[in-house]
Amino acid sequence: MARHPTVMLACLPEAPDTVPGTAVASEADAEQAGAALVLGRRDGVLALWRPGGRETPLSVDFGSGQLGYRLAADRVRHERLVKAVGLPQPDQVLIDATGGLGRDASLLAMAGWPLVLIERNPVLHALLSDGLARAPAALAGQIRLLCADSATWLAQPSSEERVVYLDPMFPARDKSAAVKKELAWLQWLMPPAGEEEGAALLAAARSQARKVVVKRPLRAPDLGAALPTHRVTGKTVRFDVYHQPRR
């Protein structure tokens, strides 16, 4: 796929050809061109960073840091997300329709779910693909990654019973500089979906799934004014659960 010129994102030679952006030979060229972000490799890892900036590059790593700790087998089932989604049943498949950086998907995969991870933004899709290539086999083997529009993909018929997880992007809850950096960079690439778009995706998911779980800020209104069956509540976020009758 040809890269489409943009002043926002510069792509170094090692960036995937599927990512639209301005092709540059070096980070210095990206900075000179006025690019806000550059995509390339740092220490063998596909990453996103601000050319000339001092921030830690953004990448996807499923096996280290705080996320690696949360993925420990003896911890993952205690996560509120896993409690909201439940444990997998025969002939069920879980669709994470708002992939992002894959953190929630990794928790669900380690809880035993066979999972379809959908991310429509090509930059995030590329970061996820690179992260999965380096992930532990027990996790990577549970996840099928797609670059697609979730509403369109969900409209396709399936013989499997679907459970859908949605995490519409909303302002950061953590006040740390790292979280603010990640959120800002992601919003430069992909502005957050409005409530109307999120409500439309929820409606599409509910029309095709046995169960839908939506992540929301603790005091946010119900997405699309749809009253959930029940909620799993934490200190700053909640998970709204919608059960659909069997057809």
Distance of CA 207 to the CA centre of its chain: 22
Question: Rounded to an integer, what distance in angstroms lies between the CA atom of residue 219 and that of residue 238?
Answer: 8
Instruction: Name the residue among 91, 99, 78 with its Cα closest to residue 210.
Output: 91
167 known ligand binder: yes
String of DSSP letters for the chain: -PPPP-SSEEE-TTS-TTS-SEE-SSHHHHHHTT-SEEEEEETTEEEEE-TT--SPPB---SSSHHHHHHT-HHHHTTSHHHHHH----TTEEEEESS-TTSHHHHHHHHTT--EEEE---HHHHHHHHHHHHHS-HHHHTTEEEE-S-HHHHHTS--SSEEEEEE------S--SHHHHHHHHHHHHHSPPPPHHHHHHHHHHHHHH-SEEEEEEETTPPPGGGPPPSEEEE-SSEEEEEEE----
Q: Count the alpha carbons within 13 Å of 198 in the hemisphere toward its beta carbon.
A: 22
104 known ligand binder: yes
Q: 237-243 and 230-233 as β-strands: parallel, antiparallel, unpaired?
A: antiparallel
**Binding residue ranges for S-adenosyl-L-methionine:** 103-104, 119-120, 167
**Binding residue ranges:** 103-104, 119-120, 167
